[in-house]
Structure 1
Amino acid sequence: MTPATPLSPAAATVVVPVHRRVADLAAAHIGAWQQGYLQDRPQAVAALARLRRGAGREAGQMPDLWSLIDTDPLHTRPEGTRPLSEVELVRAENALHAACTLWAFHQQSRTTPMHRRHSRERPGGLGAAVRRLMPADGTDEAVRKRLVRAGTAPDLVTLAQRLRDIVALLRRDDIPLDYALLAGQLYAWQWPDGPATVRRAWGRSFHEQRQTRPASDENTTPDSE
């Protein structure tokens, strides 16, 4: 019997998709800031104040945030990754900036976490969050149109501005969002066919929340960051 040929290191490596790297980096940054902010740590409070000023604005317009949002992990090659092209890096950095600044705008003055990871029991996608703005037994057409309008944004800056309007409503009602998931979607949005793919994900999320809509987030244990 011929022994099986062992896999080469290259063949055994599972390449991490870029959108997942962006999502993971967003989760690491926002998770740390959020924990510090909720514990009233001065450094985190100051970081949030700086970040929220960038919500809905182009990353290049906010040099004050360049040293705050650490993108070094996107420029390194940990195991399971490859070097990113210049276009990939720019789009990853733009998506990370948009997600982090929208979270900061969302979290401002809130005493509970506004970034919460998605789970089957508690859907955390954008569509699910928008659905929770509506009555359980009906549809708020004005809110639905905001989601549709975001889905038809022509570019990332416009999308971030329209998302800021939605986030303002989520903030008002203390409805959290998975900002890591959103960061990965904002990266995907910038590629051909990306907007259509992301819109479909938001639509599925909307209907998923409608099917599993919880009565309240009270008496539940927050998901691990």
Structure 2
Amino acid sequence: MTTVTAPPTPRERVAQLAADHLAPLQRGYLADQSREVAALARLRRGAGREAGQLPDLWSLIDTGPLHAPPEGARPLDESDLVRAEDALHVALTLWALHQQSRPTGMHQSDRTDRRRGLGTAVRRMMQPGEIDEPLRKRLVRAGSAPDLATLAQRLRDIVVLLRREDIPLDYALLAGQLYTWQRPGGADIVRREWGRSFHAWHDKRASEQPSADGPASTGGPTPIDNEATRTTDTDKDAS
């Protein structure tokens, strides 16, 4: 019997393309390769800013694969291409901010045995068994952002805190969520995902070990409420 594999959804394509960009950038940066160190510095300047404001980044974020749909997948229309491009821009520039001077990879794939979603990352900044209301409200404010520009800025504020605590995030998953967030009704889906991620976290820091980035997890909508190592710095990318 022939097994028919469903073509990837637009969200899955965005998440995979983000992963394809992140893996070599992060690997080269951690190996102190000059090209990747310079690329991260350029990307970092775009964190919290709209994609069209920085033409310098167009050569770093190749969206060409989005224009060539896999077999059986529908081509993305103009509005979906814009959403995908903006999602990739926000996710990669936030990763660059997060990764700056960190000696381990801040992009790590979300897995069932190692959660790396945004809600989990925010919860990990809290003391075990406690809810830090100011932190929780930052996540809620991000989820209630009125537009992508505001969301990017509020996520930037969260990423600065995650960087300080050396808490990684799945940026491929985030890219897919940012694509969905821009679609009609998508913000509610993503808020539920972030809320579920926040509430499902159980502290496991004592048993966790840093891990290299792996295959992207694009995740899927899950029902939830609407509210949703090492710290040695280097100066190789102080620019």
How many angstroms does 1:216 deviate by?
A: 3.6
Find the partner of 1:21 among 6, 9, 13. Answer: 13
Q: In structure 1, list runs of 5 or more residues that go unmatched.
A: none
Residues of 2 paired with 1:219 and 1:101: CA distance? 25
Q: Which residue of 1 aligns with 2:129?
A: 137
1:53 paired with 2:45, answer yes
Give the CA deviation at 1:14.
1.8
Q: Counterparts of 1:81 and 1:142 in 2: how far apart (Å)?
A: 42
Residue 122 of structure 1 deviates from its aligned partner by 1.2
Following TM superposition, by how much is the alpha carbon of 1:217 offset from its aligned partner in structure 2, in angstroms?
Answer: 6.3
Q: Is 1:187 matched with 2:179?
A: yes
Q: How many residues align?
A: 215
Deviation at residue 82 of structure 1 after TM alignment:
2.3
Q: Deviations over 1:77-98 (max 9, x none)?
A: 3324221100010000000000
**Aligned partner of 1:58: which letter?**
E
Once the 2 structures are TM-superposed, how far is the Cα of residue 111 of structure 1 from its aligned partner?
0.5
String of CA shifts for 1:116-151, please: whole Å, max 9, x gaps: 000111101000000001000211111111001001
Q: CA RMSD in A?
A: 1.7
Query: Residue 209 of structure 1: which of 192, 195, 201 is its match?
Result: 201
1:109 — aligned with what? 101
**What percentage of aligned pairs have identical amino acids?**
63
Q: Which has the larger radius of gyration?
A: 1
Q: Distance in 1 between matches of 2:180 and 2:209?
A: 35
**Poorly superposed stretches of 4+, deviation over 6 Å:** none
The answer to which structure has the higher helix fraction is 1
- Structure 2 gap segments, 5+ residues each: 216-239
Measured in 1, the distance between the counterparts of 2:207 and 2:105 equals 11
CA distance in 2, matches of 1:88, 1:168: 29
The 1:117–1:217 alpha-carbon spacing in structure 2 relative to 1, beyond 3 Å, is farther
Distance of aligned partners of 1:56 and 1:218 in 2 relative to their CA distance in 1, 3 Å threshold: same
Deviates more, 1:43-52 or 1:77-86: 77-86
Distance change >3 Å, CA 219–CA 198, structure 1 → 2: closer
Partner of 2:80: 88
